[in-house]
Amino acid sequence: MGETALGLTELGAVFFALGLLARLASRIGMSPIPFYLLAGLFFGNGGIVELDGIDDFTHLASEIGVVLLLLLLGLEYTANELVTGLQRSWTAGLLDLVLNFVPGAVIALILGWGPIGALVLGGVTYISSSGIVAKVLGDLGRLGNRETPVVLSILVFEDLMMALYLPILTAVLGGVSILGGAEAVGISLLVVAVVLVVALRYGWVVSKVVASRDREVVLLKVFGLALLVAGIASAMQVSAAVGAFLLGIAISGSTAQAATRVLEPLRDLFAAIFFVVFGFNTDPRSIPPVLGYAVLLAVITAVTKVATGAWAAKQIGVGQLGRMRAGAALIARGEFSIVIAGLAVAAGAVESELAALATAYVLIMAVAGPIAARVVEPVTQRVLAARGS
């Protein structure tokens, strides 16, 4: 079979398999992310069936997947919402950062992966999955609950922290000097500040540039601009993903809604490839040795997320049942944890076991998060009833 025919055949098989897995995930009410990772483990390095004819496509497609994930996340927020969310949730956000970053960093140091490994694994355990959390809240009909704004505010704070964290991580993974790292952070802070100011004052101009009644025009403009901004951001030592996120913030109103509608299928396609590629690069045989640490981290960071959400909800007077719902909603980890680990693995700056640990951890948390969100209410009600009696 020729190279082109082999590549098309393998790609077709992968996409069809992913479609079946996404359907299965939808039927059982789960995020498809764990299934995509498992597919990557199945087809990748050390898996049962190894594919070697699609490397060039999947590498670039996975990069585009990260850009689209962050772009659509940015489209969900306006600059005003980000600023308001930061003002409202900064104390809970800082508590969230400390409680959930530290466990990953400590485990990395215990395993001998050094400061870089600690920085990476701390980020993996810190960030909740906005996509999974939003879907679970919608599926359970909790978007109008009193505690939900607290959950969303913490997610906004985490996303802002990612805008600062990713450039720092990129600089560290690139092996730059202390001066170079400080320069990268400074540029990142400047870019974030400038974009927020532009979005607050002149966001309508950016929206007008990409606005159109034609879906095809919107798709080409926004997608092209996202790749352009991501490339320029990467050249300036600012994460490409952050560039896409900031572009999304600058687009608002009906234009943002139109862009989201046309880009969602494209995001789902390329994001699926990203998760599969991460699985490709993880040898399944490397998971069992770190599985115990993954379970330990899952238990610890599930508890710390619940504590964060419960404390934040308590500050605005939410009752005990609502506090537990808020905490359980934050447990899920997913796309951004894999993005962080993927950046580190691609740079070759961390141990290969870190990818295995991150994969196992995300598999556990992406499954446990939605389950915890569903069962926390009846369990809490029974506990409160037992105490009352």
Q: At what angle do helices 253-280 and 215-235 cross, to 10 degrees?
A: 60
Q: Which residue has 């996202």 as its token pair?
A: 226
Q: What is the mean pLDDT of residues 113-121?
A: 90
Of residues 98 and 201, more confidently modeled: 98
What's the topology of domain 38-388? Na+/H+ antiporter like fold (1.20.1530)
| Those residues with Cβ within 8 angstroms of residue 370's Cβ, 6 or more apart along the chain or in another chain | 29, 30, 31, 132, 136, 332
The phi, psi pair for 315, rounded to 5°, reads -65, -25
Confidence of residue 61 (pLDDT cuts 50, 70, 90): confident
Largest CA distance in the chain: 73
Domain ranges of the chain: 38-388
344 pLDDT higher than 90: no
59 pLDDT higher than 80: no
For residues 242 and 188, the answer to whether their CB atoms sit within 8 Å is: yes
Distance CA 277, CA 269 (A): 13
Distance CA 282, CA 275 (A): 11
Instruction: Return the CA Rg of the chain.
Output: 21
Distance CA 332, CA 130 (A): 9
| Those residues with Cβ within 8 angstroms of residue 157's Cβ, 6 or more apart along the chain or in another chain | 85, 86, 89, 90, 92, 93, 96
Confidence of residue 389 (pLDDT cuts 50, 70, 90): low
| Range from 56-60, 147-151, 155-159, 341-345 carrying the lowest mean pLDDT | 56-60
Question: Which of left, alpha, beta for 99 (phi over 0: left; psi -120 to 50: alpha)?
Answer: alpha
What's the token pair of residue 139? Answer: 């599926």
pLDDT of res. 251: 83
pLDDT of res. 79: 67
For residues 10 and 51, the answer to whether their CB atoms sit within 8 Å is: yes
52 pLDDT higher than 70: no
Confidence of residue 176 (pLDDT cuts 50, 70, 90): low
Prediction pTM value: 0.75
For residues 250 and 222, the answer to whether their CB atoms sit within 8 Å is: no
What's the token pair of residue 59? Answer: 């590498």
Q: At what angle do helices 79-110 and 288-315 cross, to 10 degrees?
A: 140
For residues 263 and 68, the answer to whether their CB atoms sit within 8 Å is: yes
pLDDT of res. 170: 77
What's the token pair of residue 30? Answer: 């789960």
What's the token pair of residue 106? Answer: 């400590």
- The amino acid at residue 322 is G
Confidence of residue 327 (pLDDT cuts 50, 70, 90): very high
For residues 266 and 72, the answer to whether their CB atoms sit within 8 Å is: no
**CA separation, residue 28 to residues 22, 24, 371 (Å):** 10, 6, 11
Of residues 15 and 311, more confidently modeled: 311
Q: What is the mean pLDDT of residues 107-125?
A: 92
For residues 203 and 250, the answer to whether their CB atoms sit within 8 Å is: yes
Among the ranges 181-190, 240-249, 293-302, 346-355, which has the highest mean pLDDT value? 293-302
H or E, element range at 81: helix 79-110
Determine the Cα angle at 147 with ends 384 and 101, to 5°: 95
Output the DSSP codes for 261-284.
HHHHHHHHHHHHHHHHHHHHTS-G
